[in-house]
């Protein structure tokens, strides 16, 4: 009976163990799967001609001749968009029209002074020009089409006047004719509404296509190019075609968000055709192509991680991680060796062990504040270093953070070394120190490397401790250990705290996180391989 029960128990335990492993893998896939899918879009995606222009300008990457041909083809389709907007603006941008009429009047008045006419003729022509300007301004400001027609007709009757021929005043008549045509299909009572909606349309067009040809380049790099990715372009197209409005359908009820067609908002105007044209010709304006952007891992990034890659963040993370392990490994092993080999089980050692266990559960932000107060403001300046956040302070803070984990893992590894190893060494006349260095430590090293693996993962992924002690969102590559550095964890945090930016570049945020995960996996893999070699060496292979 007992053998049967034992077999059933063994099978049940095996099934439970296998089920647990499957569940753990499922949870891992559920957590990492969407993250990896989104992060892969930072490297594999459909780019646009704007992306290729950005690559050529910022990284000198690509063929300038072929890009120029591509860009000229795209500009031929974009030109229609700009022309449509400009034609519509002539009827609603009252301030611009009034400013232009004033400017024309001032320039014409200067021309009159050099025409060689009498003072009386000068006053007569200038008074007429002033009246034309005032009539135009009255027409521009009016919402009554009858008033507009009267004033425009009055201005246009002087179109063939010889006093205005071949002068800048001819633009009075051009403004009048353009305005008259542009308001034919516009409800002038909605002019303010049109102006507000047009500003939104122009902003979306700017983000979609970038600055107009001939316009000065904006100061911010992220504003010098349009949509560099096809997925972003499609989101912007949706915003162009549809506006979101909050309305109250029933009294006393909360506002409800609805999507309204912009084409219907501008129905009957010259701008109505823009939306259908943009929807049908977006690919011709942006020239999308599939790309494998492997340079993501070696390119520098622009402010806000809007463009570029993660090279400085990868280097900074590696530097902090390896330097922190350089501090924590000897301290952890020496501390564990003392607790196991030298210390007796008295009240003082129990207090030390309790403190170590307590430190393992302290929130990481507390270690960050400790690092700021001790390393940044006291310890480093004590030896003549600068009192500022830097790599050295951040790495020492991370070392203190992970020291309890390292001590506990090393302590258990040293305890697991068979007592016979030590007795044999001591029996041969070796000292306790030599026994530990030559016998105990090599035998415990594979277990100690387990602590290294745990410490690596935590050190590389921490943000709070380096927030105050050595991480920056933007800056050059560090030249010494007394400079701050960019890291992957802080880069992801920097994007996340900017709501608008995080929504604009979700691929970069996920890309940084996935890069951090891959980096940790690579570091752990190296440690695992090294540990496996140590096991084989101990077994005599």
Q: Residue 401's pLDDT is what?
A: 92
Q: Does residue 487 register a pLDDT over 70?
A: yes
pLDDT above 90 as % of the chain: 29
- pLDDT band at residue 312, thresholds of 50, 70 and 90? very high
Q: Residue 278's pLDDT is what?
A: 93
Which pair of tokens denotes residue 416?
């697991």
The answer to whether residues 49 and 517 touch, using CB atoms and an 8 Å cutoff, is no
Higher-confidence position of 326 and 113: 326
Q: Does residue 432 register a pLDDT over 60?
A: yes
Higher-confidence position of 514 and 161: 514
Q: Which residue has tokens 């031929």?
A: 76
Q: Residue 194's pLDDT is what?
A: 78
List the helix and strand counts (H, then E) for the chain: 23, 4
For residues 254-275, average pLDDT: 83
Name which of 284, 223, 264 is nearest 81 in CA terms: 284
The answer to whether residues 101 and 175 touch, using CB atoms and an 8 Å cutoff, is yes
Pairing state of beta strands 44-47 and 289-292? antiparallel
Which pair of tokens denotes residue 77?
């389709």
CA separation for the pair 328, 535 (Å, rounded)? 23
Which pair of tokens denotes residue 369?
């504040």
Q: Does residue 374 register a pLDDT over 90?
A: yes
Q: Residue 91's pLDDT is what?
A: 67
Q: Which residue has tokens 């120029």?
A: 68
Read off the pLDDT of residues 127-155 as tens digits, 9 standing for 90 and up.
888 888 888 888 888 888 788 888 888 88
CA separation for the pair 96, 530 (Å, rounded)? 72
Class of the domain covering 311-538: mainly alpha
- pLDDT band at residue 158, thresholds of 50, 70 and 90? confident
Read off the pLDDT of residues 438-478 as tens digits, 9 standing for 90 and up.
888 888 888 888 888 888 888 888 889 999 999 988 888 89
For residues 157-176, average pLDDT: 82
Q: Residue 541's pLDDT is what?
A: 52
Q: Average pLDDT over the chain, rounded to whole?
A: 85
Read off the pLDDT of residues 88-136 as tens digits, 9 standing for 90 and up.
877 677 778 888 888 888 888 888 777 777 778 888 888 888 888 888 8
CA separation for the pair 477, 300 (Å, rounded)? 10
Q: Residue 538's pLDDT is what?
A: 67
DSSP symbol at 293: -
Q: Residue 501's pLDDT is what?
A: 66
- What DSSP assignment string belongs to 407-444? HHHHHHHHHTS-HHHHHHHHHTT--HHHHIIIIIHHHH
Q: Does residue 248 register a pLDDT over 80?
A: no
Q: Does residue 499 register a pLDDT over 60?
A: no
For residues 402-430, average pLDDT: 86
Is the overall model pTM greater than 0.85, yes or no?
no
- pLDDT band at residue 375, thresholds of 50, 70 and 90? very high
- Rg, the chain, Cα only: 36
Q: Does residue 283 register a pLDDT over 70?
A: yes
For residues 195-199, average pLDDT: 84
For residues 25-33, average pLDDT: 82
CA separation for the pair 393, 402 (Å, rounded)? 15
CA separation for the pair 455, 223 (Å, rounded)? 41
Higher-confidence position of 1 and 430: 430
Read off the pLDDT of residues 35-93 as tens digits, 9 standing for 90 and up.
888 888 889 999 999 999 999 998 898 888 999 999 999 999 999 999 888 888 776 77
Q: Residue 14's pLDDT is what?
A: 80
- pLDDT band at residue 502, thresholds of 50, 70 and 90? low
For residues 490-501, average pLDDT: 77
CA separation for the pair 285, 217 (Å, rounded)? 20
The answer to whether residues 451 and 409 touch, using CB atoms and an 8 Å cutoff, is yes
């Amino acid at each position: 009976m007992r053998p049967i029960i034992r077999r059933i128990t063994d099978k049940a335990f095996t099934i439970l163990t296998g089920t647990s492993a499957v569940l753990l893998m499922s949870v891992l896939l559920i957590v990492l799967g969407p993250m990896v899918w989104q992060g892969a879009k930072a490297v594999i995606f459909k780019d646009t001609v704007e992306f290729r222009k950005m690559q050529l300008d910022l990284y000198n990457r690509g063929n300038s001749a072929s890009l120029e041909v591509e860009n000229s083809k795209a500009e031929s389709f974009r030109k229609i968009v700009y022309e449509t907007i400009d034609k519509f603006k002539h009827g609603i941008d009252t301030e611009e029209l009034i400013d232009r009429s004033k400017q024309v009047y001032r320039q014409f008045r200067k021309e009159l002074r050099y025409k060689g006419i009498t003072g009386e003729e000068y006053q007569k022509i200038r008074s007429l020009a002033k009246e034309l300007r005032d009539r135009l301004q009255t027409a521009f400001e009016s919402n009554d089409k009858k008033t507009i027609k009267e004033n425009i007709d009055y201005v246009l009757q002087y179109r063939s006047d010889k006093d205005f021929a071949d002068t800048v005043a001819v633009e009075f008549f051009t403004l009048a004719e353009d305005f008259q045509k542009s308001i034919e299909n516009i409800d002038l009572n909605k002019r303010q509404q049109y102006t507000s909606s047009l500003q939104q349309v122009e902003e979306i067009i700017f983000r979609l296509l970038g600055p107009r040809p001939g316009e000065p380049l904006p100061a911010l790099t992220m504003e010098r190019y349009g949509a560099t990715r096809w997925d972003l372009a499609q989101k912007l197209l949706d915003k162009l075609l549809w506006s979101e409005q909050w309305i109250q359908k029933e009294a006393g009820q909360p506002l409800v968000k609805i999507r309204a067609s912009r084409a219907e908002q501008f129905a009957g105007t010259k701008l109505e055709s823009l939306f259908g044209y943009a929807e049908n010709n977006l690919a011709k304006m942006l020239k999308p192509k599939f790309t494998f952007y492997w340079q993501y891992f070696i390119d520098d990034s622009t402010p806000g991680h809007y463009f570029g890659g993660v090279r400085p963040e990868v280097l900074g993370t590696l530097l902090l991680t390896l330097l922190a392990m350089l501090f924590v490994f000897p301290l952890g092993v020496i501390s564990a060796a003392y607790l196991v080999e030298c210390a007796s089980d008295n009240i003082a050692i129990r207090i030390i062990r309790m403190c170590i266990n307590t430190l393992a559960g302290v929130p990481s932000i507390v270690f960050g504040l400790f690092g700021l107060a001790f390393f940044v403001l006291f310890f480093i300046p004590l030896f003549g270093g600068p009192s500022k956040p830097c790599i050295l302070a951040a790495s020492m803070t991370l070392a203190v953070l992970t020291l309890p984990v390292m001590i506990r893992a090393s302590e258990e590894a040293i305890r697991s070394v068979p007592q016979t190893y030590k007795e044999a060494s001591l029996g041969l006349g070796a000292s306790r120190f030599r026994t530990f260095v030559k016998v105990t430590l090599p035998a415990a090293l594979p277990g100690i490397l387990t602590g290294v693996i745990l410490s690596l993962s935590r050190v590389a992924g921490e943000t709070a401790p380096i927030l105050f002690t050595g991480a920056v969102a933007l800056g050059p590559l560090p030249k010494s250990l007394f400079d701050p550095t960019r890291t992957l964890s802080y880069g992801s945090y920097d994007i996340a705290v900017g709501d608008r930016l995080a929504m604009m570049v979700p691929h970069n945020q996920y890309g940084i996180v996935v890069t951090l995960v891959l980096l940790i996996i690579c570091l752990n893999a190296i440690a695992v391989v090294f540990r496996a070699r140590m096991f084989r060496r101990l077994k005599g292979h």
